[in-house]
Structure 1
């Protein structure tokens, strides 16, 4: 057995074998170890469905790649993986579900997934065994299907061996140690004894430059061995197999094709044919999380007892949809662990705080994802970045605040929500509130309706305390929800008077030390600001794409305060720490990185009246000029006093109006909140949430990380040339220049439907051909129409270009606007007073 390799893959399920296949294909010397037999974890009892896409852009690409890979595995390896391309029928009982499918359709178009809409009559004509009179319609994917999980895993394992990989079974990893250049992995051979696996006493070490963990249900043991947190915890998933259905047998005997995989999302189940009968897979309420800390040594290819009472409602709804199944008996049942994460996306990418350690954990749809994850993770490892933005799957999207209890409760919720309507304005309630700023109760008392970002409670909008009859704050929609009118009023308040926004969730880091200036100059694209000034800048990946966005405040010669997106605090912190280590290892002077996110609260005040509001509170020898352009110019930062609160004020506004960010000691937040509202009330100040802010920033063409900005586009493609100083050297510069301009980011004004706005997932078209996609969308109060941002071919980025955007299956007029269509000269931001 090899004991020194380029990469060690730990875990021999479908995901691990998919990763080993692609790393071996890339030419890396690869060893995969599995503690039991290949497929012994959740792979063996998976139903093997292959849903091609969902609402996520990255996961849709992953699933699409997997299906294309699986279709060619037999020709490559000689092993039949049991791939059946029967299609996937997503049925809808409600208009809201059809709205969801129309948004699914828009997403599918951007990925290139084939699909069509069917009426109830068309469904009945194709598949007469189905009851359809209570359906609104369906979305049909003809290229979906299912596969035998064990067979596809063995086929990928054989493909990996053919490409040069080695695979060792019954080998348990007991420890990891990083030497500074490679991992030393402690292993022990296991042997069968009385139906269990027990240590043989044969121990040895494997040395690997890189390690990938794909340990499935054993993720908590992996986390403990690595000294990190991994929010991947299994939840029980049960499905049943019926005896043969005589009506189905007659249907097939008449020469009819196999039914597609049936998904009655409103009934919370999937059904497919299985040996003349049916498999029913429900996603019911109250399925418990299991193995919160580790999998018992005695649990191998085992199952839990079936709980039929828990799935009775779903079982009866299957009989309703397939009446012939009512008299068919049960032949088999499965209730096994399937790993989940709090948001349902797997954890794919670098492990937080560790070098050359890669995670591939938390797969609730592991069979569908295995091939694609192998492909894109191998790109990240071998080439430095994947061709698609994988940030939505990055393990560092969860910070150190995440606990086992939180992950377990959120994973149970995620399981229950598999078939719950996935509204873009969805906010799930489990494990909330958990992280809240001191002003949380004050804002809630004033009508705040909260969303959650990185565990933080953040106001989405402020609704009425006494809601009008029929108004439901919890109602969600794929069109304009009840919240829309309140977000519109908030946006108008900022344009016409002033608004106060709680931005405490921003990620905040201090970068200090004798090497701080040289470090940040190397790490970021823009020239560094002078002391007392700020700038907007970008850190790049080694492929030259956008790694993160920072607002840098220079407090002293070698003393910097970095502000970045609140959803990415751990992601940015990990990158800063590792980059500083690289900088010092290459001869740079000492740099200190400190996460101060929870030490500082942030209020953003913006709007024409914002200077007047602050003027009533500021304590200064000359208060009448303290906030003037001369003493406090745009893009500068000063230490000021507002009442009794010391504030690091930054003259910048994400909304495109005169405004300041007020960074304050978090323990003084309530005092500052009260004083700001007292001073602002006579001037028309309104509390404002994240949804209105998102609309306003699009009117200014301000790109947002995670939408317009990501690891699949460079800052130059994003149209951020003014923040890139090509006269200096910085990390990723050469790769960025070599990439060129493949697409361009644009802002579009849209004449769309009367009751809906784009969500940022829609395709852009020219003469019937897709030429780009939206990444953000909303309503413009300045222009009185829908607005969106997205990417198009470079030749279509000129202002005035006429395009179409797909919304609810129709094409609506859209026109490329000039960058910053609202106040393009920034006159309102720079206004003096």
Structure 2
């Protein structure tokens, strides 16, 4: 039998069923979900059902908060039943000062997002909330009064009930056998039927990697075994119930790596061991469905002992059952949500290690994206294309093990985790290391973050001023006084050629295509007018344009370019791996470069110009553009030619005091110019006008996606405003996600920040939800309110005289 569907969802866990529910509520018809076993089989059915608002990212927090509202309020009202949601509240406790900084940071972000997360600053506050916990050695914690736990099966079936009532079809015990693209639809062969669907969604969870293989994708997720134990009656818990006392709040000790929650008159204890155990990496056994692995408590005995020491009542109940089953982990422990790279009308909703906790919100998030052509919030933390083909088997396995072991790890700003590094190396990688580069990872690439004069030096993670601070100061000083070299090969790079190249670039975003020989900046928009992509556009000829963008945007930008090229006579090439980029920046840069080329570097090569020149015998695409506010060039060359080009530039620069600079110095300097960054400052939620790029909006005489929405939002009085702030601080510089206050009202949020070494002040970019606020502003950083001043012009060279010299 052949079925036709508008969308086929593959997988009947909490994530897939939530998507089905939200799609039918959004008006989609012919929604079909197929499940190889029964609903909730795989991971959902054996989940402990914990629900929290705690998150380091506003989008992840909203996924979790949406799930709570759905399970607690919306579904019971719609179905007349219950999802078994218990609003017990939850707390996290710690003996680690860095963890207290982390808690203060999350609590501060929550003041902007509007969720109630309360910092606990003493052991007494912990004891008052959880009388069964010992508090010796505890510094404090964070309390989430609206957290709770849900029955995963009841919640999933409630969403399925509403979906069926609204016309969705659920095919149980109907495994997917093959998937292929045919003309304008997907043909999916299942155990019973052939289903032709306009859209397909991989929501297969434990089977996500296998279904991805059928789609022609490498899904970077790995099932990892997680076990928890359920106790018999705990007398102290039973006594509380008999006395009519409220349910104990869930409690987590991230330093000891466990959580405990009440389960009737007993407790559930969930440990996360550091040495994770991946399971069925290359394919789940065909017979697996609602099965569990045998208990393996020896692996977690030390964690159980630590939990019993903290909550002695645990020792008074026997072990009633042990749950040992798979949950999936991605390389960063966030779910994969969004379009599948390179495939038309194919989507991912998989890879969540918190499938119940995030599932209700994840379904809402993807349904909005599929319905409106853009996500409802910034999607970078969850976008399914944040990993590329470089995320191979070795990478996904090592990172899954790392993420599981650091499930309760401190989330530091600028943190660089060590597993599975070195996947993408620029042609200058060895030279960077030889000159003291301390590397970071950017979309699989190794990229210099900063340069040390000590062999083997590494960044010490902290929420405060880091050990690399003086080194970055030196890099900035060298660039400002002489010149610096940087390896920027991580940029995403595309060439657009063909008869319609100019027309295509003109229609790409809010800015017009530059004239030949010139460079422009354009923002491709979402249908709602938000910023989807940011491209530096170099016009090499009427029929040839060169586009560069952020490293992390490579797959997203390529998808957008290819989708929007439909109807144009153009050829699009991703040349990211083929081209390297060396930045030469600083007041001595012209003198250094002129010693290696016969090209005119003076009036004939003005600011924001592009020229093909020869440097030290190497063919170079030279862009006179600077993200740091100094005279300089980006030198783009073939990968094989980059080492020789670098050596020549370094040798020519030595008499001028040349040095090197990394990503941290670049971030500091671009903030001194007030330059926005894609992924932190530019997001899909805000228009370029709100972000401060109104001067790059030139809509006249052109049509482009998002134009009408952009112009409408630009005229709205309630639009947001991005401002550059000078922050009064000491040893704690702003970084991101700090709430901005006007007197005592939360009115905005910091998107990026750093210390400005050339200007001697802490700087931050922030969105204000109310335009025009200037006096009485402060920002909360790690629990402390710091006065801020809005800077109406860039604090460093506001007239751009240095770049234009």
TM above 0.5? yes
Provide the residue aligned with 1:619 in structure 2.
597
Provide the residue aligned with 2:586 in structure 1.
607
Provide the residue aligned with 1:70 in structure 2.
71
User: Retained in 1: the 8 A contact 2:233–2:265?
Assistant: yes
Deviation (angstroms), 1:2? 8.9
Deviation (angstroms), 1:327? 4.2
- Helix, strand or coil at the partner of 1:39: coil
User: Retained in 2: the 8 A contact 1:536–1:551?
Assistant: yes
**Alignment deviations for residues 92-128 of structure 1 (CA, whole Å, 9 cap, x no partner):** 1111110111111122222211021221012123322
Q: Choose the corresponding residue for 2:335, options 346, 352, 377.
A: 346
User: 1:287-306 alignment to 2 at 5 Å?
Assistant: 287-306=276-295
2:669 counterpart of 1:691: no
Q: Choose the corresponding residue for 1:260, options 237, 249, 265.
A: 249
Question: In 1, Cα distance between the equivalents of 2:389 and 2:119?
Answer: 44
**Alignment deviations for residues 304-326 of structure 1 (CA, whole Å, 9 cap, x no partner):** 23322221221111011112223
Provide the residue aligned with 1:199 in structure 2.
none
Question: In 2, Cα distance between the equivalents of 1:437 and 1:182?
Answer: 39
2:761 counterpart of 1:788: no
Question: In 1, Cα distance between the equivalents of 2:690 and 2:129?
Answer: 46
2:412 counterpart of 1:423: yes
Provide the residue aligned with 1:757 in structure 2.
733
Deviation (angstroms), 1:597? 0.7
- Helix, strand or coil at the partner of 1:663: strand
Structure 1's 309 and 717: CA in aligned 2 closer, same or farther, altered over 3 A? same
**Alignment deviations for residues 618-659 of structure 1 (CA, whole Å, 9 cap, x no partner):** 221xx6xx211x121100111222223221110001101111
- Helix, strand or coil at the partner of 1:3: strand
**Alignment deviations for residues 52-74 of structure 1 (CA, whole Å, 9 cap, x no partner):** 13112211111111111111211
Deviation (angstroms), 1:353? 1.2
Question: In 2, Cα distance between the equivalents of 1:518 and 1:300?
Answer: 53
2:720 counterpart of 1:743: yes
Aligned residues: 798
Deviation (angstroms), 1:532? 1.6
Deviation (angstroms), 1:37? 0.8
- Helix, strand or coil at the partner of 1:828: coil
Provide the residue aligned with 1:644 in structure 2.
617
Question: In 2, Cα distance between the equivalents of 1:313 and 1:488?
Answer: 44
User: Retained in 2: the 8 A contact 1:446–1:465?
Assistant: no
Provide the residue aligned with 1:565 in structure 2.
550
User: 1:211-226 alignment to 2 at 5 Å?
Assistant: 211-226=200-215
Provide the residue aligned with 1:81 in structure 2.
83
2:149 counterpart of 1:156: no
Structure 1's 148 and 614: CA in aligned 2 closer, same or farther, altered over 3 A? same
Provide the residue aligned with 1:178 in structure 2.
181
Deviation (angstroms), 1:475? 1.8
Provide the residue aligned with 1:108 in structure 2.
110
User: Retained in 2: the 8 A contact 1:802–1:816?
Assistant: no
User: Retained in 1: the 8 A contact 2:585–2:631?
Assistant: yes
Provide the residue aligned with 1:193 in structure 2.
none
Question: In 2, Cα distance between the equivalents of 1:719 and 1:458?
Answer: 28
Deviation (angstroms), 1:393? 1.3
User: 1:20-419 alignment to 2 at 5 Å?
Assistant: 20-29=20-29, 30-72=31-73, 73-118=75-120, 119-189=122-192, 204-419=193-408
**Alignment deviations for residues 459-503 of structure 1 (CA, whole Å, 9 cap, x no partner):** 111122258xxxx62420011111122122222322222221111
Give the TM-score normalised by structure 1.
0.93
Question: In 2, Cα distance between the equivalents of 1:574 and 1:288?
Answer: 35
- Helix, strand or coil at the partner of 1:373: helix
Question: In 2, Cα distance between the equivalents of 1:283 and 1:716?
Answer: 45
2:518 counterpart of 1:533: yes
Provide the residue aligned with 2:15 in structure 1.
15
User: Retained in 2: the 8 A contact 1:613–1:676?
Assistant: yes
Deviation (angstroms), 1:518? 1.2
User: Retained in 2: the 8 A contact 1:391–1:711?
Assistant: no
Deviation (angstroms), 1:801? 4.2
Deviation (angstroms), 1:542? 1.8
**Alignment deviations for residues 163-210 of structure 1 (CA, whole Å, 9 cap, x no partner):** 332222111222233333332322223xxxxxxxxxxxxxx3222222
User: Retained in 1: the 8 A contact 2:32–2:169?
Assistant: yes
Provide the residue aligned with 1:807 in structure 2.
781
Deviation (angstroms), 1:420? 1.2
Deviation (angstroms), 1:252? 3.5
Deviation (angstroms), 1:242? 2.1
User: Retained in 1: the 8 A contact 2:227–2:295?
Assistant: yes
- Helix, strand or coil at the partner of 1:813: strand
In the alignment, structure 2 segments of 5+ residues that lack a partner are none
**Alignment deviations for residues 213-234 of structure 1 (CA, whole Å, 9 cap, x no partner):** 2100111221111111111221
- Helix, strand or coil at the partner of 2:732: coil
Q: Choose the corresponding residue for 1:674, options 647, 654, 658.
A: 647
Provide the residue aligned with 1:511 in structure 2.
496
User: Retained in 1: the 8 A contact 2:759–2:795?
Assistant: no
Question: In 2, Cα distance between the equivalents of 1:102 and 1:821?
Answer: 30
- Helix, strand or coil at the partner of 2:127: helix
User: 1:533-612 alignment to 2 at 5 Å?
Assistant: 533-580=518-565, 582=566, 584=567, 588=568, 590-612=569-591
Deviation (angstroms), 1:405? 2.2
- Helix, strand or coil at the partner of 1:717: helix
User: Retained in 1: the 8 A contact 2:620–2:636?
Assistant: yes
User: Retained in 1: the 8 A contact 2:107–2:119?
Assistant: no
Deviation (angstroms), 1:794? 4.6
Deviation (angstroms), 1:331? 1.7
Deviation (angstroms), 1:681? 2.5
Q: Which moved more, 1:369-378 or 1:397-406?
A: 397-406
User: 1:698-737 alignment to 2 at 5 Å?
Assistant: 698-727=671-700, 728-737=702-711
Deviation (angstroms), 1:275? 2.7
User: Retained in 2: the 8 A contact 1:285–1:310?
Assistant: no
User: Retained in 2: the 8 A contact 1:2–1:31?
Assistant: no
- Helix, strand or coil at the partner of 1:331: strand
Q: Which moved more, 1:655-664 or 1:741-750?
A: 741-750
Provide the residue aligned with 1:475 in structure 2.
460
User: 1:493-512 alignment to 2 at 5 Å?
Assistant: 493-512=478-497
